[in-house]
Amino acid sequence: APPAASALVDGLNPEQREAVEYRGPALLIVAGAGSGKTRVLTHRIAGLLESRDAWPSQILAITFTNKAAAEMRERVRHLLGDGADGMWISTFHSACVRILRREADAIGLSSTFTIYDSADTRVILKRIIKDLDADTMGFTPAGVQGKISKLKNELADADSYARNANMNDPHEVMFVEIFRQYARRLRDASALDFDDLIGETVYLFRAFPKTAALYQRRFRHILVDEYQDTNHAQYSLIHELTRPVAPELVDEMESQGLHVRSLADSSGSIPGASLTVVGDSDQSIYAFRGADIRNIVEFERDFPGARVVLLEQNYRSTQNILSAANAVIGNNFDRKDKKLWTAVGDGEKITGYTGYTAHDEAQFIADEIEALHRSGVDYRDIAVFYRTNAQTRALEEIFVRSALPYRVVGGTKFYERAEIKDAMAYLISVANPLDELALRRILNTPKRGIGPATVTALATFAEQNEISFRQAMRAAAGLGLGPKVTAAITALANLLDEAALMLVPPTPPADAPADAPAPASSVKVSDVLSHLLTGSGLLDALRNSRDPQDEARAENVDELLAQTKDFDKDNPDATLVDFLTQVSLVAAADDLDDASGTVSLMTLHTAKGLEYHAVFVTGIEEGLLPHQISASEPGGPAEERRLFYVGITRARVRLYLSLAMSRAQFGETNVALPSRYLQEIPEELIDWKQSPGMANSRGGTGPRALNARRQPGADRWGSSYNSDRFSVAASTKPARAAGAEWPNKVTAVRDNGDLTLDAGDRIRHADFGEGRVTQVTGEGTKKVAHVSFDSAGQKKLLIKIAPIEKI
Ligand code: ATP
Ligand code: MG
């Protein structure tokens, strides 16, 4: 055992300490939420460095988000001070980009390859589907995208898929053709999609053992956080990286001047890297992306002799929060029961809240946050979670009105805005001239009078002459296009060439010694972008536009320019490609600026691994949690339950669970039902608060009580929807046929029976006071009254459940 590095193991419990100090080929740490897995990983890295068992460059740590990577690096630095540079702490994707940019040549890729996001991918698939008339067979870009992604996560390509598919089925034949064309177009554009980043790296390592050997001998310690969420491709990548280097390769590397023999064992090979993985199968929430919890279960089989460490003490949450989490997750079958405990004590009860509408719910949350803030809780230590991004609308509306400082983590979608994508497409076209998608995007942005016929002419010319789209642009003069169009295309091609030249380092002075380093280019990403925006007229077009929205668009482009300036300042040696990579890898959980002093709003998926003093889990309704889409899939409700478990276990001190009785979704307002998961939490743990409009209801105010009143004698919710097998699709969407609606469930919360309202009627609302009906729209349970309240303004209310009466 290494000498105990006291500072690093002080305060750790014996199991945590064992995991930090273990030295051997394989270590598996399995433990529930908040038991210190990530902390152990961080201390283990610091320990390896401090005990000199590893150099920083020999460590590869994989985290799930860039943010988690930055935090881990920061913590190791905090534990060790300097001397931690050269470590790779990154996500799977960034590690792979780094490797691929270096080794691109080997697999016939330009090192400036573009990374396509999901929107780019869909544009390409849309075009292919249209070209092949595949839409008539029911193919949609989103559907094909999902299927291709799943296959790539399994390391399949079009050919391997075709070998196993039934090629007598025209549908399958068509899918294979789409898949093939998709792969070809990406290759032609020197572009990779997100799944390719992993898949191509695995391919690189398998096809080029010598290249693989460089990384296998470099990384001596590989550590993976959130291992339960790795998919097959990621699993394979780890497998490749931890392979031993064969004696022949060791000899070859040695003969090429790489001093590697000292790493070899008596057999002459370099043993595989030591692997540490950390995970919690109860927090596996990415099965839809192909994550496979068997990776954890089968770790011991894959790595015989692995040490397994279990952590059981939770250091994050109060007992009440833990008990709720344990109770919920206990309903999943097929899991090992964990005995999580905490020394913190019971703490406060969980607060439950049922609002009439999503706005009610949001108002409650805003009020509670203010109360927490007044009692001394920092805004930044408060988070609000939801299942779908659409739920932010009501929250943001109320938060803005309440002047609550907040930020939507990963939801700003700054880089998905059209004007930002336009500006980025200019930069991409400079970095990767093969990227046809980017070129097509900027060809007529801003408007230059270049229409679809011209684009087709260019594309056809490129294809016939086997040249790139960009080269076709340069040859525009010979294409017989109109003079104005030709001039516009040539001007654009020239602008891109100019910008590319700006990036070429200046030639060294003639009298410089031959081996002197080339002088670094002083041109920055911001200079290039600024040149492109001015030269293309993009920014002016937005600024001079009469469309009021263009003002905001111009501001966004200015913001992008400001970001490139910051980037240049923070990364003086970085290149344009580095900037593009960074933007591409800004994953859901990452914001470029990590504003402090604000409440964080994020999806439950994004919340993984984080912790807050106070946590609000919102929209705990059937159809949202479990989500309608997952509910009907095998394993769906169990995965959604894990998602809920992840949400609950983020809370340290205060947990709030809320829902609304009606919610607007997909443009319709629907009656919402309490989630089946709520009743899995023992009643005594939750203190239910009511919606103001329910002030006169008797006998408790939680959804359970409300439901009980609807079903006399029942003290539990109907067993029909407490089971995972119950189809949520059927339970949350009112069926169209009369009488087939969810009989005593639609109305689980409040029921105005067959109350009818007509325009002109006066009503009284529990919250908004008196008002006049101006219009009635919709049918059946979805009938909506448009009401002009005397003091509360205009509102739309679901007649069936709104707290209203005719007066
Ligand atoms: P998750 O499953 O949610 O990712 P985790 O198992 O990775 O959780 P950590 O985030 O590492 O847990 O730790 C949870 C909290 O408990 C952190 O605030 C951490 O600093 C604290 N903690 C962990 N171990 C100890 C310990 N031995 N003493 C004091 N605090 C600890
Ligand atoms: Mg963790």
Return d(Cα 258, Cα 211) in angstroms, integer. Answer: 13
**In the chain, domain spans:** 6-105+200-311, 114-189, 321-411+594-746, 415-506+521-585, 762-806
Q: Cα dihedral sign for 716, 718, 719, 725?
A: negative
Ligand 1 mutation target, pool 12, 39, 79, 652, most atoms within 8 A of CB: 39
Closest CA to 529 of 561, 559, 501, 503: 561
pLDDT surpasses 50 at 740: no
The 10 Å CB-count burial string (b at 16+, else e) for 354-392 is bbbbbbbbbbbbbebbeebbeeebebbbbbbbbbeeebb
What is the number of the ligand 1 atom nearest to the C-alpha of 283? 2
In sequence order, which ranges of 54-91 are alpha helices (DSSP H)? Answer: 66-80
pLDDT score, position 728: 28
Position 283, amino acid: Q
Q: Which residue owns the Cα nearest ligand 1 atom 26?
A: 12
Average pLDDT over the chain, rounded to an integer? 85
Question: Which amino acid residue places its CA nearest to atom 16 of ligand 1?
Answer: 315
Nearest protein Cα to ligand 1, atom 2:
33
114-189: CATH architecture: Orthogonal Bundle (1.10)
**CA of 13 relative to ligand 2 center, distance in Å:** 16
**pLDDT tens string 103-128:** 999 999 999 999 998 889 999 999 99
34 is in an annotated binding site: yes
Ligand nearest to the CA of 16: 1
Instruction: Give the nearest ligand 1 atom to 315 CA.
Output: 16
For tokens 């995007």, what's the residue?
441
Mean pLDDT of 243-252: 93
Per-residue pLDDT tens digits for 457-481: 999 999 999 999 999 999 998 888 8
Rounded to the nearest angstrom, the distance between the alpha carbon of 67 and the centre of ligand 1 is: 17
The gap from C-alpha 622 to its chain's centroid, in whole angstroms, comes to 23
pLDDT of residue 744: 26
Judge whether residue 276 has pLDDT over 80. Answer: yes
Q: Which atom of ligand 1 is nearest to the CA of 13?
A: 27
- Cβ pair 241, 266 in contact under 8 A: no
Calculate how far, in angstroms, residue 35's C-alpha sits from the geometric centre of ligand 2: 8
The CA 229 to ligand 1 mean position distance, Å, reads: 19
Which parts of 208-335 fold into alpha helices (H)?
A: 209-218, 232-241, 247-255, 294-297, 299-302, 319-329
**276 alpha carbon to ligand 1 midpoint, in Å?**
17
309-313, 743-747, 795-799: least confident range = 743-747
User: Is it the case that residue 589 has pLDDT exceeding 60?
Assistant: no
Neighbours of ion ligand 2 (CB under 5 A): 37-38, 609
Q: Is 37 labeled as ligand-binding?
A: yes
Q: Whose CA is nearest to atom 14 of ligand 1?
A: 34
Share of the chain above pLDDT 70, in %: 86
Residue nearest to atom 11 of ligand 1 (CA): 36
Of the listed ligands, the closest to the CA of 322 is: 1
Say which ligand is closest to the CA of 311.
1
Tens of pLDDT, residue by residue over 479-501, are 888 899 999 999 999 999 999 99
CA-CA-CA-CA torsion for 321, 326, 328, 331, nearest 10 degrees? -170
**Which pair of structure tokens corresponds to residue 781?**
């349970």
**pLDDT tier, 519 (very low <50, low <70, confident <90, very high otherwise):** low
| pLDDT above 50 (res 725) | no
CATH for 6-105+200-311? 3.40.50.300
> pLDDT category, 597, cuts 50, 70, 90?
confident
Q: Which residues surround ligand 1 with Cβ inside 6 Å? A: 11-13, 16, 31, 33-39, 280, 283, 315-316, 609, 611, 649
Nearest CA to ligand 1 atom 23: 36
∠ CA 539-542-547, rounded to 5°: 175
Residue 35 annotated as binding site:
yes
**Does the pLDDT of residue 518 top 60, yes or no?**
no
Nearest atom in ligand 1 to 311's CA: 6
Q: Taking 60 as the threshold, does the pLDDT of residue 654 lie above it?
A: yes
Measured CA to CA, the distance from residue 506 to residue 504 in angstroms comes to 6
Q: Which residues are catalytic?
A: 37-38, 225-226, 283, 650
Residue whose CA is at the smallest distance from ligand 1 atom 20: 39
Cis peptide bond prior to 244, omega within 30° of 0: no
Confidence of residue 629 (pLDDT cuts 50, 70, 90): confident
Of 805, 806, 771, 800, the residue nearest 786 (C-alpha): 771
**Residues 314-325: what's their mean pLDDT?**
96
CATH for the stretch 415-506+521-585: 1.10.486.10
Rounded to an integer, the average pLDDT of 635-660 is 94
713 is an annotated ligand-binding site residue? no
Q: What pLDDT does residue 591 have?
A: 54
28-77: pLDDT as tens digits: 998 999 999 999 999 999 999 999 999 999 999 999 888 888 889 988 88
Q: Is 597 annotated as a binding residue?
A: no
Ligand nearest to the CA of 225: 2
Which of 5-14, 207-216, 237-246, 409-418 is the least confident region? 409-418
Ligand 1 centre to CA of 315 (Å) is 6
Q: If you average pLDDT over each of 349-353, 505-509, 717-721, which comes out highest?
A: 349-353
Query: Domain 321-411+594-746, what fold?
Result: Rossmann fold (3.40.50)
Rounded CA gap, 613 and 617, in Å? 13
Bridge partner residues of 790 (DSSP): none
Residue 616: strand pairing partners:
384, 656
**pLDDT for res 750:** 59
Q: Which of 9, 20, 38 to mutate to test the pocket of ligand 1 (most atoms within 8 A of CB)?
A: 38
CA distance 771 to 590: 45
Exposure string of 38-64, with b = 16+ CB inside 10 Å and e = fewer, is bbbbbbbbbbbbbbeebebebbbbbbb
Query: Residue 739 above 50 pLDDT?
Result: no
Is a pLDDT exceeding 70 seen at residue 692?
A: no
**What pLDDT does residue 724 have?**
33
Please indicate whether residue 337 or residue 652 has the higher confidence score (pLDDT): 652
CA distance 56 to 399: 44
Q: Which residues contact 2 (CB under 8 A, 6 or more apart)?
A: 21, 23, 47, 51, 53
pTM, entire model: 0.81
How far is ligand 2, taken at its centre, from the CA of residue 397, in Å? 32
Q: Is 127 helix (H, G, I), strand (E, B) or coil?
A: helix
Contact 403, 595 (CB under 8 A): no
Lowest mean pLDDT segment, chosen from 123-127, 130-134, 340-344, 766-770: 766-770
Cis peptide before 446 (omega within 30 of 0): yes
Which region among 131-140, 145-154, 505-514, 691-700 has the lowest average model confidence (pLDDT)?
Answer: 691-700
Average pLDDT of span 555-565: 88
Which of ligand 1's atoms lies nearest the C-alpha of 16?
27
The values of phi and psi at residue 277, to 5°, are -125, 150
Helices (H), 595-702: 628-631, 636-648
Ligand 2 centroid distance, CA of 627 (Å): 25
Q: Which is it for strands 350-355 and 114-116: parallel, antiparallel or unpaired?
A: unpaired
Provide the pLDDT for residue 712. Answer: 32
Tokens read off for 675: 């989630």
| 806 annotated ligand-binding residue | no
The Cα–Cα gap between 702 and 589 comes to 33
Q: What tokens were used for 303?
A: 């790595």
The closest residue, in CA terms, to atom 27 on ligand 1 is 12
Give the angle subtended at the CA of 590 by the CAs of 589 and 593, to the nearest 5°: 140
Does the annotation flag 33 for ligand binding?
Answer: yes
Ligand 1 atom at minimal distance to the Cα of residue 650: 3
Q: Say what the pLDDT of residue 336 is.
A: 77
